[in-house]
Structure 1
C-alpha cells in the first residue's frame, strides 16, 4: 500500500525529527511533503536512512532558513500542496500546520500524529513570542486561529503524543484523539551510576523553554550548571550568566549523553508537550527536577525518578534543588522506568493503529 508523509518543514534534527525518522523506518514512505527543506544532507540522511526519497516543498523554499518570518502564510501554503493521487494513506507529522494537508482523492486516508500543541505561537505561547507587540498582531492571530481550527478538522484520525496534548486538542479543536508516546533512542543512553557535582539543562534555546529562569536561579547559587543547546536566546543568556554556568552550544548526541549521564540531575522548567530529553536523562539513571506542568507529568515519577516544583519561577526551582539534595536516588530504578518509552514500542503501536484504521476505512470507502 502506498503511503506518503507530510511534515511541517525540515530544518534541524531534533526531537520531532527523531519521531519522523521512526515513522519512516516503520512505514517506508514513497514521498515526503513539507513547506520547506533546509536540512543538512547529513541530518536528512538520519531520516531517510540512506534511501533516495522524493521531497516536495512549496514556494517558501526560496526564503531558506528565514522561512519562519512568513509564519502567517503557512496555512495557505500547506493547503496548496498536491498529494500524489495514487497514494492510499497520508500520515502527517504535525507540530504546526501539516495536519492541514488536503487530500487529492476522497478515498485517501489521513492520519495525523500531533507532535505538540500545534502552532503554539498563535495559541498558548503568543505572549512569549510577540511580547509587547501582541496587541498589534492580535487581529492576525485571531484570523490564524480560525484557519488553524478549520484545518484541524481535515485528518480522519488524530494521534496525540501525550495526554496533555490530547486534552489540548479536544479543547482547541474539539477533536478526539488517541495517545501514542513518541520513541526515545534508549540504547544511546545507557545506565551510569557514577554522578558528578553539576546540574544539566538540554534543549533548543528558545523563549518558551524558559532557560532564562534556569540561568537566573543558578546565578543566585554556587552550584554548577551546564547548558547544552543552541538557539536565538543563547547570546542573551550568556551575557546574563555567572562563572558557575557553562554553555556548550550545539553538541552531538555522544556529548549530550556524556553530560547528562554524569549529571547530579537534569533541570526542566519549560512546559513541554512530551519532552524526550528528560527521558534520555532518566535512561542514564539521572533524576529530573521539573516544573509540574505539561507532558513531563506523564514521564517522570515524582519522588522516584524525579522531583517536581509547583511554580515556574527561579525561587521555586532553587527550593526544589535544595529539597532534591536531601534525598537519595536509585539510578537503576530511574533507568528501568525510562525503558517503557522505547522505539520498538512506538513502532508497534503506530503499526497496529494505522493498519486497523486502513482496514476499517478502506472497507467502507472502496
Structure 2
C-alpha cells in the first residue's frame, strides 16, 4: 500500500461499483477498502505474482491485452508502468492517471541496465526497443492523461507528445501526528532502488558521523559495507513503524529524483522538515527554507552542505506550519480534485453514453 495503491484506493471509493483489473495482486497487503472489491488478475498471477513481478516485464503487454474490457464504457488506468496498454472498446472513454512513464524503459534505462547482471542486461537489450515502441503506441489508446506532478506531465509530453492535467496524489494526514519530543536521528525511507540514491545519504552520514536510519526493502551487501556505525538499516517496516520514525526524526533525507514523492509530505504531516535533491516532484512540495532544504547536486559535497545547514537551523522549523503545508495535499482535497477532473473529462466527451456509466479501474 504505497503511493500508487493509495490513489487506486481513492478511485475505488469514488467509483464504488467499479471492477478492478491488475497484472498481479498481493491480497494480504491490500487495505480493507480494496480487499472488499472485485479484483481480476492476469495470467501473471500464476507465474509467481508479486514475487516475480518485475522480472515479467516482457510478458506484461500480452497480459494487459488479454483483459476483455468490452463491457465497460469508462476505463480509468492508474499506472507507473504499462497499465494504459489495455484495449478499450471503440466507444469507451479511457482516462489514464499516470504516476510516471515507465522509468526503467526511458530516462532511467541506463541506470537499471548498469545495475543489472549479465543475463538481465542481455534481455534488456533484446526487449527494450520493442517495449518502448509498444509503450509509445499504446499512449494513443488513452483519451485523456492525468499526471501526478508537473514533472511527470513534462515527461508524458516528452515521450508520448500528449498533454495532461495535473492532480497531485494524496497524503493521508490521519495516519500522522506531530511528536513534541523528536530525536536526533535523520531518516531515509522507501524501497531501495538505484534512482533513489540511498547510498549517497549513507556515504554522507557515515562521513559526518551523524545518526541515520534507513527504512525500506532492497538493502544490498554493498550498501551495508559502506555504512559506518552511525547508520542503521531496519529493512521493510509496517506503516505504523514508518509513521513513528517520521514523527521522531530530526529531518527526512530524500536524495533521489522522484516523479512526485509522497514520503516528504508524510514527514511534513509529522511536522518534520525535509532535505531533498532539487529536481523532480520534490520541487513541488519542498519549499526551500520554509518546509526544508533543496540541494543542487547529487554529490556528497552538496548533500553534506545541506545536512550541516539543517543541523544549524532545524529548530527554526515550526511543526504546525509544516503540517499545514502538507494539508494542502490531504486525501479529502485530492478526492475532490480528482473527481472534478474526471467528471469534467467525462462530460466533455460527447461520444460516451451517459447515464449510467459502468467503470473499470486498473493498476
The verdict on a shared fold, with TM-score over 0.5 as the criterion, is: yes
Please tell me the root mean square deviation across aligned C-alpha atoms, in Å. 1.9
- Partner Cα separation in structure 2 for residue 210 and residue 303 of structure 1: 23
1:318 aligned to 288, 300, 304, which one? 304
Aligned twin of 1:110: 94
Q: CA deviation at 1:60?
A: 5.4
Mapped contact 2:148–2:260 kept (Cα < 8 A): yes
Does the aligned pair in 1 maintain the 2:252–2:272 contact within 8 Å? yes
Q: Does 1:100 align with 2:70?
A: no
Q: Among residues 103, 113, 128, which one is paired with 2:111 in the alignment?
A: 128
Q: For residues 285 and 52 of structure 1, do their structure 2 counterparts lie closer, same or farther at Cα, with a shift above 3 Å needed?
A: closer
Contact 1:210 1:270 in 2 (8 A): yes
**Alpha-carbon distance between aligned partners in 1 of 2:37 and 2:156, rounded to the nearest angstrom:** 34
Mapping of residues 297-308 of structure 1, within 5 Å: 297-308=283-294
- 2:47 maps to what in 1? 62
Using the alignment, how far apart are the partners of 1:209 and 1:23 within structure 2? 27
Question: Contact 1:282/1:337 (CA < 8 Å) preserved in 2?
Answer: yes
- Aligned counterparts of 1:69 and 1:243: Cα–Cα separation in 2: 34
Instruction: Tell me, yes or no, if structure 1 residue 288 matches structure 2 residue 274.
Output: yes
When residues 79 and 192 of structure 1 are mapped into structure 2, their CA distance, relative to the original with a 3 A threshold, is same
Go from structure 1 to structure 2 and tell me whether the alpha carbon gap of 1:192 and 1:128 turns closer, same or farther (over 3 Å shift). same
For residue 135 of structure 1, report the CA deviation from its aligned partner: 7.7
Q: 3-state DSSP class of the match of 2:104?
A: helix
Give the C-alpha shift of residue 67 in structure 1.
Answer: 3.1
The equivalent of 1:10 in structure 2 is none
| Alignment check: 8 A CA contact 2:112 2:194 kept | yes
Distance 1:341 1:205 in 2: 25
Moved over 6 A (4+): none
TM-score by length of 2: 0.90
In structure 2, the residue matched to 1:82 is 68
CA deviation digits over 1:28-54, x for unaligned, max 9? Answer: 2432112222x142x224451x52413
Unaligned 5+ segments in structure 1 are 1-12
Q: Which residue of 2 aligns with 1:171?
A: 158
Q: Which residue of 2 aligns with 1:237?
A: 223
Alpha-carbon distance in 1 for matches of 2:287, 2:39: 42
Q: 1:254 to 1:365 in 2, by over 3 A?
A: closer
Within-5 A mapping of 1:1-366? 13-37=1-25, 39-41=26-28, 43-48=29-34, 50-59=35-44, 61-64=46-49, 65-83=51-69, 85-103=70-88, 105-116=89-100, 118-131=101-114, 136=122, 137-138=124-125, 140-231=127-218, 233-327=219-313, 328-361=316-349, 363-366=350-353
- In 1, the alpha carbon distance for the partners of 2:292 and 2:216 equals 22
The CA deviation at 1:214 is 1.0
Query: What is the total number of aligned residue pairs between the two structures?
Result: 346
Whole-Å Cα distance in 2 between the matches of residues 46 and 185 of structure 1? Answer: 15
TM-score, structure 1 as length reference: 0.89
Alpha-carbon separation, structure 2, partners of 1:290 and 1:82 = 43
Once the 2 structures are TM-superposed, how far is the Cα of residue 365 of structure 1 from its aligned partner?
4.2
Q: 1:34 touches 1:58 (CA, 8 Å); kept in 2?
A: no
Q: Relative to structure 2, which stretch is displaced further, 195-204 or 352-361?
A: 352-361
Mapped partners of 1:54, 1:251: distance in 2? 26
**Residues 312 and 107 (structure 1), Cα distance of their counterparts in 2 relative to 1, 3 Å cut:** same
Instruction: Quote how far apart the aligned CAs of 1:349 are.
Output: 1.2
Report how far residue 240 of structure 1 moved. Answer: 2.5
For 2:328 and 2:168, the matched residues in 1 are separated by: 10
Q: Tell me the CA shift for residue 169 of structure 1.
A: 0.4
CA contact (8 A) 1:211 1:269 kept: yes
Point out where structure 2 has 5 or more consecutive residues left out of the alignment.
354-363
Contact 2:4 2:79 in 1 (8 A): no
Against the structure 1 CA distance between its residues 330 and 151, is the aligned structure 2 distance closer, same or farther, given a 3 Å change threshold?
Answer: same
Per the alignment, in what secondary structure is the counterpart of residue 229 of structure 2? coil
Q: Distance in 2 between matches of 1:181 and 1:270?
A: 19
Instruction: Give 1:234 deviation, angstroms.
Output: 3.9
